[in-house]
Amino acid sequence: RFGVTSEYLTNADDIQIKMAQGAKPGEGGQLPAHKVYPWVAKTRHSTPGVGLISPPPHHDIYSIEDLAQLIHDLKNSNPAARIHVKLVAEVGVGTVAAGVAKAKSDVVLISGHDGGTGASPLTSLKHAGGPWELGLAETQQTLLLNGLRDRIVVQTDGQLKTGRDVIVAALLGAEEFGFATAPLVVSGCIMMRVCHLDTCPVGVATQNPVLRERFSGQPEFVENFMRYIAEEVREYLAALGYRTLEEAIGRVERLDTSAAIDHWKASGLDLTPILTPVVVRADAALHNTTTQDHGLDRALDQWLIEGAAPALDDAEPVRLRHLIRNVNRTVGTLLGHEVTKRYGGEGLPEDTIEVDLVGSAGNSFGAFIPRGVTLRLEGDANDYVG
């Protein structure tokens, strides 16, 4: 989370909480010290030449309730952004995805083991994670059985390369599809797998100015590739008798196994659990049809924003006083978002908006607030202050 500020969050369209990566689940990540150039350090509010380590666990997420709190914090920091949670395809991912939906995430991403994360250890690439098809099927079934499918968008990724991959993913229940390795190859990546060494010979995954000059990719290359993907998707939809991709989502009964597979390893496979639709109500939605209720319209910050109107509109000093209870979570963050949206990363002069609160504050009191907002609490506060 290096460099996550109110300005960073306010300007995002989508914010993703990466619980793990499909290519190397449970291993965390690291930006080596030699890749932390001054401009990288400035962007991420760190020190040049010092490695940035992201440990395998998020140290403030040890339960679905912890995850729900972070989702709520991020939604307060930018109500317009969609909050994603990235999970790895593995046995039991459906149960976790159901928890993610209950935690009010807007999107859940099921990531397959074939992902091409170039800095991943070879042993992880070969032996860790599971196919996105299995994780996606389990997620779709679990969400349907728990009556949660209509409130969350399901996305998948992990070496999607063709229109056929998109169609299979859609039939298994995905609404959105992540492409990364293929567009990189289209842009010139030759898969040297030295992304972590800062020596990429074609200038894709390097900060070295000399090597970056070798980059030959053009936006039109990726655009053309995606047009071909869309064209192939259109052809498959026509063959299936669907007019739109939305009609195909979750129609798992249209999938079947290939009779051409004649391998001894395939003889013991039973794909019936994946290819059989779950029994749900006739009117149950197979895809996302509604939005999550994050309760922002009932937040204490709505009163603070109204009271701070002179400061927000004309930068005039304002002082407010209010009682606070432990049900008032993430107080000040929505107000801070309004400040950042209007005045940018610099915020307002110090103490332009002063808020005196009395009582017991809920979680994440004053999270991500920018300069110019001062919160004073007479009482106690729960976890994640500031």
Q: Per residue in 8-33, pLDDT tens?
A: 999 999 999 999 887 778 787 888 89
- pLDDT, tens only, 193-250: 888 889 999 999 998 999 999 999 999 999 999 999 999 999 999 999 999 999 999 9
From 47-61, 252-266, 341-355, the region with the lowest mean pLDDT: 252-266
Q: What's the rounded Cα separation, in Å, for the pair 183 and 219?
A: 10
User: Quick one: pLDDT band at residue 299, thresholds 50, 70, 90?
Assistant: very high
Q: Which domains does the chain have, with CATH numbers?
A: 20-57+81-275 (3.20.20.70), 296-381 (no CATH)
Query: Is residue 118 pLDDT above 70, yes or no?
Result: no
Q: Tell me the two tokens of residue 371.
A: 């300069």
> Do the beta carbons of residue 372 and residue 339 sit within 8 Å?
yes
Percent of the chain having pLDDT more than 70?
98
Confidence (pLDDT) at 126 = 77
- pLDDT, tens only, 36-75: 999 999 988 999 999 988 887 888 888 999 999 999 999 9
Confidence (pLDDT) at 60 = 85
User: Quick one: pLDDT band at residue 125, thresholds 50, 70, 90?
Assistant: confident
Q: What is the mean pLDDT of residues 350-357?
A: 95
In eight-state DSSP terms, residue 277 is P
In which residue are the tokens 């317009």 written? 80
Claim: this prediction has a pTM higher than 0.85: yes
